[in-house]
């Protein structure tokens, strides 16, 4: 029932967008689609006893983790759809988005929401693989929709790296299938079956299969050394799409790694895989912060920050204690929201200056107060300052890591300081520039404020409100939900 309602909503939204004539209508139907997805998720969470299998077979499975991820996705899509209303109109006015492509944009965006949701609810890992692949293809189309050469370049790089790596994941799945066939009556790729029988799987083969699967999932979430596509794609995409790429699509790869780790940790392969994850996590954070430090491009800075945060999530998964998992899950939510607000603010700034470069940004607070403050507060939140939620998440993950390895914690802390310095440097340099002391006075140097359209401020302000609230009080329902997820993944 749950899967069918998601599918039905997706199909209806797609059809309505296809039939509608004006931008306003397309946007409205897309917003309705996101709201409906949100509503289904909340309804299921409140009224249905999960975990349950869906569609009468074991292909789809609804548990608290998948619901949680699907809800985060729906929330971000909702915010992005509201933002898109004004933003896309500006893109068309600036002739960056061709009017003929408008319908394609909304149709693909809506399809992306449906496939993302289905990916999270797939119990069969091959099905998950296919949906994850489709999300790559659809999101790459959204990157390329601006049809500037650099966008097409970025989209092509994204497709070939992410999809190529996902083929290695498929080899991992074949391994997994064979391996389960050795001990069970027939081979299976159903996560529930594998998790139940994990203890009798051969640890050596399981490690091999994990490594192959990791290649694809890591590429999808921008883990070093497969991150090279991410800064290009995330910074070239329209900002409404960038927010989804960073806030939702990266979570898909992490979700895959999380599910696989839940299987692996029941076997003797755990130590090796955990060290493997910690190693890649640390490398990822290191590479990302070094690229952030002297970054001159606003959206590139945010994109590399996503790479950094994926590295920290990988550390959180690799530590493997129940508490670390709890905070990793919370981190996913905090990161998605904060990153979206940064991209939304950057989108407004890009409209204002028609550039993402540090040297072009002037008089931020008088021209674009909301975007300016949104970016400043968002930066504080993303580097993990208290009282924002990323602070507590990072704090407790590192505290758990302390029992694991002290040098690791020190290394991560050092890198986090560099990341904060990168944001501080960028903010000070860009946001204190004034056209008065630039020396290029005259009428051509004066910028007119870009009129921020309706709907573009709402997502930024509401996200800032939510993360501030989440940082100050930890709502009990959320705590219960995360605890149930930790339990369901077999950690307790």
Partner 1 sequence: MISPFLADPAFLENIIRILFVFVLITAAFTLSTRNIASLLNVYAVQSLLLVLIAVFLYLIEGSQTLLAIAVLTLVSKVLLIPLFINLIGEKIKISRDLKFNYLEPTASLIVSMGLILLAYVFLSGFFSEFILGKLFFMGAVIGLSLTLMGMLVIFSRRKVITKAIGYLTMENGVLLFGIFVADLPFIIEILIVIDLMILVLLTTILAIGIDSTIEEYHQRLQTLRIWSGRED
Binding site for partner 1 (CB under 8 A): 21-23, 98-105, 107, 126-127, 130, 133-134, 137, 140-141, 144, 147-149, 152-153, 155-156, 159-160, 163-164, 167-168, 170-171, 174-175, 177-178, 181-182, 187, 202, 204-205, 208
For partner 1, give the closer residue by CB, 227 or 457: 227
Both structure tokens of 102: 């408008």
State yes or no: cis peptide before 51, omega within 30 of 0.
yes
Helix (H, G, I), strand (E, B) or coil at 53: strand
Nearest to 273 by CA among 330, 209, 222: 209
Nearest to 395 by CA among 312, 292, 293, 280: 312
State yes or no: cis peptide before 474, omega within 30 of 0.
no
From residue 34, give the alpha-carbon distance in Å to each of 73, 75, 163, 255, 343: 9, 7, 26, 21, 19
Burial 252-262 (b: 16+ CB within 10 A, else e): bbbbbbbbbbb
Least distance from partner 1 to the Cβ atom of residue 42, Å: 30
For partner 1, give the closer residue by CB, 32 or 152: 152
Least distance from partner 1 to the Cβ atom of residue 230, Å: 17
For partner 1, give the closer residue by CB, 182 or 354: 182
For partner 1, give the closer residue by CB, 177 or 365: 177
Least distance from partner 1 to the Cβ atom of residue 364, Å: 30
Phi-psi label, residue 448: left if phi above 0, alpha if psi -120 to 50, beta otherwise: beta
Least distance from partner 1 to the Cβ atom of residue 429, Å: 33
Least distance from partner 1 to the Cβ atom of residue 88, Å: 11
Least distance from partner 1 to the Cβ atom of residue 102, Å: 5
18 alpha-carbon distance from chain centroid: 27
Nearest to 259 by CA among 56, 444, 91, 123: 123
Nearest to 346 by CA among 360, 356, 334: 356
For partner 1, give the closer residue by CB, 117 or 295: 117
Least distance from partner 1 to the Cβ atom of residue 178, Å: 4
């Amino acid at each position: 029932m749950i899967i069918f309602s998601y599918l039905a909503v997706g199909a209806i939204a797609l059809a309505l967008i296809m039939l509608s004539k004006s931008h306003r209508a397309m946007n409205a139907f897309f917003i309705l689609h996101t709201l409906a997805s949100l509503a289904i998720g909340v309804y299921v969470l409140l009224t249905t006893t999960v975990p349950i299998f869906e569609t009468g077979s074991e292909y789809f499975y609804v548990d608290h983790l998948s619901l949680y991820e699907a809800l985060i996705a729906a929330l971000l899509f909702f915010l992005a759809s509201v933002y898109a209303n004004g933003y896309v109109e500006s893109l068309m006015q600036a002739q960056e988005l061709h009017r003929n492509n408008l319908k394609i944009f909304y149709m693909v965006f809506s399809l992306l929401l449906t496939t993302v949701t289905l990916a999270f609810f797939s119990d069969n890992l091959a099905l998950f693989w296919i949906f994850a692949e489709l999300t790559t293809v659809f999101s790459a189309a959204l990157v390329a929709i601006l049809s500037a050469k650099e966008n097409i370049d970025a989209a092509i790089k994204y497709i070939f790296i992410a999809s190529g790596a996902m083929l290695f994941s498929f080899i991992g799945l074949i391994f997994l299938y064979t391996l389960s066939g050795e001990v069970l009556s027939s081979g299976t790729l159903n996560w529930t079956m594998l998790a139940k029988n994990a203890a009798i799987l051969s640890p050596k083969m399981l490690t091999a299969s994990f490594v192959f699967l990791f290649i694809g999932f890591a590429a999808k979430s921008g883990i070093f050394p497969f991150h090279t596509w991410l800064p290009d794609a995330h910074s070239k995409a329209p900002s409404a799409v960038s927010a989804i790429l960073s806030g939702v699509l990266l979570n898909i790869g992490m979700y895959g790694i999380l599910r696989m780790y839940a299987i692996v940790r029941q076997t003797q392969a755990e130590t090796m895989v955990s060290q493997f994850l910690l190693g890649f996590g640390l490398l990822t954070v290191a590479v990302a912060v070094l690229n952030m430090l002297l970054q001159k491009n606003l959206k590139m800075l945010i994109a590399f920050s996503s790479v950094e945060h994926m590295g920290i999530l990988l550390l959180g998964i690799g530590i493997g204690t129940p508490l670390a998992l709890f905070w990793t899950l919370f981190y996913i939510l905090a990161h998605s929201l904060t990153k979206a607000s940064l991209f939304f603010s950057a989108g407004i700034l890009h409209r204002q200056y028609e550039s993402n470069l540090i040297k072009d940004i002037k008089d931020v607070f008088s021209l674009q107060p909301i975007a300016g403050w949104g970016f400043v507060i968002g930066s504080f939140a993303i580097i993990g300052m208290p009282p924002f939620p990323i602070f507590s998440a990072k704090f407790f993950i590192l505290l758990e890591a302390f029992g694991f390895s002290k040098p690791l914690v020190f290394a991560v802390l050092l890198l986090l300081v560099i990341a904060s310095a990168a944001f501080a440097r960028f903010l000070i340099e860009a946001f204190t520039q004034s056209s008065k002391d630039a020396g290029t006075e005259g009428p051509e140097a004066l910028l007119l404020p870009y009129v921020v359209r309706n709907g573009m401020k709402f997502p930024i302000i509401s996200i800032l409100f939510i993360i501030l609230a989440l940082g100050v009080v930890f709502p009990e329902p959320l705590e219960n939900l995360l605890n149930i997820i930790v339990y369901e993944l077999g950690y307790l």
